[in-house]
Structure formats: C-alpha cells, structure tokens
Amino acid sequence: MYPSSGISLNQHFYTYRRQLLFILFIAACVVGAVTIYYHEMWRDESQAFLLVRDSENLKELWQNVRYEGHPILWHFILFVAHHIAPSIYTIQVVHILIGLSVVALIIFYSPFSLVEKFLLTFSYFFSFEYLVISRNYSIGIFFLFLSLCVFNKFKQGNALIYIAILLGLSANSNIYSFIISCCLFAYFLSHRFPLQNKSSYKSKLFYISSIIFILFLIIALLQLIAPADRTPKLEIAANVDFKRMAKICKEIAQVLFYMPDPLRYEKYWGFSVFGANYFKSPLLNNLFFFLPHLLTLIAIILLISFIKKSRGILLFFTGAFVGLILFMYFFFDRGLLRHTGAFFILLIAVLWLYRSSFSEQGKHERYFSQLFKVMLLVQFVGSVIAHIYEARYSFSGAKDAAAFLIKTNRNDRQIILHPDFEGMALLHYGKIDSVFYPTINTRGSFIKFSNQRKPRSYKDIYNLAMRNDIQTMVFNSKKDDSLVDSYGYELIYQPPTTSTVHDEDFWIYGKKHQAER
C-alpha cells in the first residue's frame, strides 16, 4: 500500500498511535501544570513541608514522622528535595513530577485501549486528587504501577528482586499502598514460584526477594506504630456495626463513580453529586443516590466472573479488597477521597495484570469494559469540574492571609495562631519560622500530634496575648469584636472570599497602638 516507502500499514498505525499517546501526555502535563499553578496548598500539604523544613537531620526526621501515621518515604523525598532546592514550592514540583510519572506509565505502558488511556489520564484521581494535591499517595501508586511494568517486561530472571524493592518502596508511602503491595508481591512470588512446585523453596531468588520485601515492611511498620504519647489514639472497632459497614460500602461506590457536586460551587471537594438532593421527589433522590452502588456491585460481579480465569489475580484482588475494607472497618473509617481512592487504584492494578495476561475478551469482559468506560467517563466529568473550580475558587485562604502578613511585615513578629493544625499553610506561605501555639503553650511550626496539645478557651488566648505583648492573633473564624477590643486588639484582615476547605479562612487581629486605645 506504501510502495515508495516500504513501510507497512501496521508500522504507520504504530507510529500514529505513539504520536497520539505523546500528545496525550503533553496535554496531561499542561492541564496539571495550569491547575497546580492555581492551587493553594492546605494544611495536609504544608504540614509535610514544615516537618521536613524544620527537621535538621534524618534522625530527627524519623522521630518527627512517627507522629504522622504514615511511613517515611514521602517525607524523605521531600527532605532531600528541600535541601537541594529550598523553596516553598518544592513540594508541588516534586509531587507533579511523580503524578505525571504515574500518568506516563498508564499512557505508554499499560494494556488499556486508547480511549481508556485518555479517560484514565483525565480521570478525577489521576488528573486531580493524586496530581494536584501534594500528598504521599501518588508515590505509592507510582511504585505499584512501575512494578507491573517490570513484571510484564521481565517475567523471568532476577526481576523479582527489583519488584520486591519497588513494592517495598510503595509499602513505605501509606497504609493503603502497604496493603495492596503485600497482596501484589504475594501474587508475583507465587507466579514466579508456584506453591505446588517444591523446587521453588530451594531457589535463592525466592528467599532474597522475600527477605528484601519483608525488610521494607518492617521499616514501614516501625513508622506506623505510633509513639505512646501520640494522640488521638488509634481505636479498634471490636464490635459488629452494620452502619459502619454500610458507610464503607457507600464510600467505595461513590469513589469509583466519583463526580463532585457542581452546585456546591467552592465547597465541591469531597462531596459526590450522587449524594445531592437534586430532585423534589425523595424517591428520585434515593434512586440517584443508590445508582453508583448498583453499578459498583455489577462491576465487581463482572470483574470476578472473568478474572477467576487466573487464580492468582483473583486472590490478589480478593486479598487486597478485603484487606482495605478490614482496615477501614476496624481502624479508620473516615472515608476521605484520598483514602478510598485506593479501591480505584486496586481496580486499575487488577485490570492491568489481567489484560497483560489475557488478550481475548469474552462476554463478561465486554460488558465490564463498557461499564468501566462509564465509570471513567463519570470521573472525567468530575475532573473537569474540579479543574474549573480549582481555578475559579480559592482552595485555602491561607495564601491570601499569609500575603497580608508579609505585606504588613507581621510575618516575622510574634504571632498567636489558633487552632494550630488548621494554620499550617499560613506558616508555609508566610515563610514563618514559628508561631505561638496556645494548645502547647509554646512556639512551634509543624504540629506534633502528641498528648501535650490541650484545648484553650479564647478568653485564655486573649489574656495570653495581652500579657506577652503579642502583636498579631490569627484565628480561623471571626470573633466578637467588642470582646477582642476590650483586650486591646482590632480586626485588621478578613478573608476576601470563602475557600474550598471550610476551616481555612482566616481572620487576623492586630494589637492597637496606645494612642488608639
């Protein structure tokens, strides 16, 4: 067909497809860079930044991270990056590079179709939650997906050692990746060394890779086991609670088919459109609410119906799925998007494994593929909403408040901040070394979640500020002007807009001069 060039039709199609994939990746980079430019970091992001900024060495970093409830990997990466490029924006640069690396693995190395790759790239989680918001989840996903790439390319030889390292690193990012990594490594190990083959236990590779992975798990567990003075304490739900289980099921359904509620405007983040009462009829509202539950149930049934072709993949999915549910049920059921998103990541990992092993599609696979596209399409629309609203509304009011402190030269004076954790981004953007925290009755920067933190009344805080001649008080709610005035302070700044994070709008009070009083 192309006699002059001698290039086959298949080669032309392959070249054209690679070009489309490259354009898709460039588009993802542009969208991510633009949105992260508009994104105001909030306390969870800034806590990590302040912790690495104020940890003088790795030993101190290790001790400080133990109060975070996460393994050390993310903080270690930030620690190194901050010492190379000490900027308040280093955390965002590092995170978007990691997030785009995840996207690159999906685009260039995953077994998904071109349409699915497009929808995955711009799905809510890969385009917004795990790309724009700088947390310790993308790094775990990156190593998970990278282990899948290594496995598909090098199924024999010493690849299992590299996979053990990659999954060990993933396990050291967060508890959700820890659970998935354990189950995925078990799959890789059993695939390389079948249990029924007795010679497997004589292989050095079997023991070396297992020991490497276990060492990584021990490191992660040492970080996850909280110090005795850590607060709040991790409580185990030992009783049978059907409401708790129903809540987890709801969260799984809403996270797979997640779309922010556009009518909440700046408060869109974390609120599913399926939980909104759009209709006058309660019946229609209930049907709309349970729609993602029904679709999720069908998706899981269809998924199990065809992945059972591979006992290993079925066991991997079942083990990780049950492990995530048990952790959420017994230990942590807050159900925030960044946490329940682990179920979506698990689904992608299972499909990645299955489609890399089985090319033919049966009836159940075809039905699931259509439902999977619907799932991704819902998330795509959700991603569009999130990106638009991120550019339109302020995610956190800390950046504007910090700009005021810098403009009025108050960022280097004595400041009282209350509540403490909610104001982390204020220190981050304001380049403030430390402030006075009434909760610990001393100065500090990042928050150490220990039992030293005590509640304080606002009258106590006003007296404290007056006795110590504190020039500036910052709160995340407006106070009684007459009461504040009686202590010699006045309102000098209030938030110009309402931010997405509801408790990160700040009111700043300054000490009156003697002449004014």
**Strands of 472-475's sheet in order across:** 442-444, 435-437, 415-418, 472-475, 507-511, 489-493
Are residues 229 and 181 in contact, defined by beta-carbon separation less than 8 angstroms? no
Are residues 376 and 252 in contact, defined by beta-carbon separation less than 8 angstroms? no
Please write the tens of the pLDDT for every residue from 235-254.
Answer: 777 788 888 888 899 999 99
Angle, helices 73-84 vs 90-109, to 10°: value is 120
Cross-strand bridge partners of residue 511? 489
DSSP of 359-400, one letter per residue? ----HHHHHHHHHHHHHHHHHHHHHHHHHHHHHHS-S-THHH
**CATH number of the structural domain 398-511:** 3.40.190
Please write the tens of the pLDDT for every residue from 414-466.
Answer: 899 999 999 999 999 999 999 999 999 999 999 999 999 999 999 999 999 99
Residue with tokens 């179920």: 343
Residue 7: the pLDDT is 55
Residue 42, Cα to own-chain centre: how many angstroms? 13
> What is the average pLDDT value for the chain, to the nearest integer?
92
Quick one: tokens of 229? 């003075």
Q: What are phi and psi of 418, to 5 degrees?
A: -155, 135
Q: How far is CA 497 from CA 44, 388, 396, 398, 428, in A?
A: 21, 17, 10, 11, 20
Please write the tens of the pLDDT for every residue from 4-50.
Answer: 454 576 777 778 889 999 999 999 999 999 999 999 999 999 999 99
Residue 515: the pLDDT is 44
Sequence-ordered list of residues with C-beta below 8 angstroms from that of 192, at least 6 positions apart, any chain:
155, 156, 160, 205, 206
CA distance linking residue 165 with residue 58, whole number of Å: 21
CA distance linking residue 24 with residue 134, whole number of Å: 22
Please write the tens of the pLDDT for every residue from 144-174.
Answer: 999 999 999 887 668 999 999 999 999 999 9
Q: How far is CA 8 from CA 2, 14, 216, 293, in A?
A: 7, 10, 48, 47
Q: Where in the chain is the domain with CATH 3.40.190?
A: 398-511
Peptide bond into 438 cis (omega under 30): no
Does residue 111 carry a pLDDT above 90? Answer: yes
- Exposure b/e, 479-496, CB count within 10 A at least 16 = b: beeeebeebbbeebbebe
Residue 199: the pLDDT is 67
CA distance linking residue 62 with residue 59, whole number of Å: 5
Does residue 268 carry a pLDDT above 60? Answer: yes
Residue 2: the pLDDT is 43
